[in-house]
Amino acid sequence: MSRAIVPDKDTAFQNDLYLSNYFKRPGTVQQMKMPELKIGHLISRLPIIQGGMGVGISMSGLASAVANAGGIGVIAGAMAGITEKDVSTNGLEANCRALSREIRKAREKTRGIVGVNIMVALTHFADLVKTAIAEKIDIIFAGAGLPLDLPGFLKKGDRTRLVPIVSSGRAAALICKRWFQRYGYLPDAFVVEGPKAGGHLGFKAEQLDDPAFSLETLVADVVAEMKKVEAEHGIRIPVIAAGGVYDGDDIRRFLQIGASGVQMGTRFVATHECDADPIFKQSYVDARKEDLMVIKSPVGLPGRALKNQFLVDVAAGVRRPFRCPYHCIKTCDPEKSPYCIGMALASARRGKLKNGFAFAGANAFRVDEIVSVKELMRSLETGYDRATG
């Protein structure tokens, strides 16, 4: 049974909060404090969501650290069971078992907000969603396809919030219309992911550098669509900007455009708490601007990654024969793929970059050190203060 939509009278538009949330510092002009992010009944002290990074990059360790630091931590559902012994023979059970365990481990480490990212394109999407809801996860972020049936997994009493990831106002409007018609439910927020994100991108190659598809344009588009929905239904639907958000000044800029928060993935890779191998993290620190490249992924989408010999060989036509052990993505065709992306990303997570590669956002080359999540969050707050001063 879906939850009835009840307007929340305590929810203020983030723009109003942004203008009213001042604080004074001795000897300085008034500055604006970074506003909270409210998604349904959940209130995050900082409007920062850590992006879900699959195949073991963002698990309970990173997610709980971000939640403890005042943001929203996210466990990735994609190949959550990559370290399970039976993942290649019993993928469904292995991935659901691992996701359940990671959610419980995160709960042991934090009282903050923890979500999961579950790609619609995953073969076991429905089962992973059911597992996350059964574990009472705070939020489900769902992208890589339109999650048109997501509210149908909720039962009476479930308090898990549902946040689709989109790349256009048209997609956001379609989801709102379909969810309300079928379930009497509207999204609790939207993440708008632009073409500067790392990993798989929901854009054509020629759109990646087109100003018409810049994150600023996309966010403004979705915000405009949500204002129509909000006016019709009397409910607030926050919009979160994602893809290329790097520092406090970026956060300020997107909040001014109308976003209520931001999602960041790349910045959280270079933290001590990130669940990947130190060699994987160091590849970000060592990266130069020219190392960022867009690849054609075996799953049929462009993807942004750090250039290395593995990818150079693939571009040269070198094929790595394999038997598909995971069947993780619906759209992957093992017969035509030059390599198994699941195996490549799993190798990279373990620091074996000769046998794989690291996905990364367009600003990965700006990362110059590995820090703690607490230090990173503090620097983002300081940068935001400086930008609004």
For 267-300, the pLDDT digits (tens) are 999 999 999 999 999 999 999 999 999 988 877 7
Kindly report whether the global pTM for this prediction surpasses the value 0.85. yes
Q: Are strands 190-193 and 31-32 parallel, antiparallel or unpaired?
A: unpaired
With a CB cutoff of 8 Å and minimum separation 6, the contacts of 147 are 120, 162, 164, 175
**pLDDT, greater one: 208 or 231:** 231
Please report the pLDDT score of residue 323 as a whole number.
66
Q: What percent of the chain has pLDDT over 70?
A: 87
- Residue range 308-337: average pLDDT? 73
Structure-block tokens of residue 164: 């689709």
More confident residue, 115 or 6: 115
Higher pLDDT pick, 272 / 31: 272
Q: Residue 27's pLDDT is what?
A: 41
Q: Is the pLDDT of residue 46 over 90?
A: yes
Looking at the predicted structure, is the pLDDT value of residue 197 above 90?
A: yes
Helix (H, G, I), strand (E, B) or coil at 17: helix
Enumerate the domain spans of the chain: 14-276+369-388, 278-355
- Integer-rounded Cα Rg, in Å, for the chain is 20
Tell me the pLDDT of the chain averaged across its residues: 87
Q: How many CB atoms lie within 10 A of CB 28?
A: 9
Per-residue pLDDT averaged across 208-214, rounded? 86
Task: Answer yes or no: are the C-beta atoms of 224 and 175 closer than 8 Å.
Answer: no
CA dihedral 188, 193, 197, 203 (to 10 degrees): 140
Instruction: Please give the pLDDT value at position 267.
Output: 96
Percent of the chain with pLDDT over 90: 68
238 has a pLDDT exceeding 50: yes
Structure tokens that stand for 90 in this block: 């019993």
Predicted confidence (pLDDT) per residue in 75-131, tens digit: 998 878 788 888 878 878 889 999 999 999 999 999 999 999 999 888 889 999 999
Mean pLDDT of the region 243-267: 96
Query: Span 355-382, mean pLDDT?
Result: 96
What CA–CA distances, in Å, run from 115 to 34, 142, 202? Answer: 21, 11, 22
Mean pLDDT, range 330-342, rounded to an integer: 70
The DSSP 8-state label assigned to residue 247 in this structure reads S
The CATH class of the 14-276+369-388 domain is alpha beta
pLDDT for res 8: 44
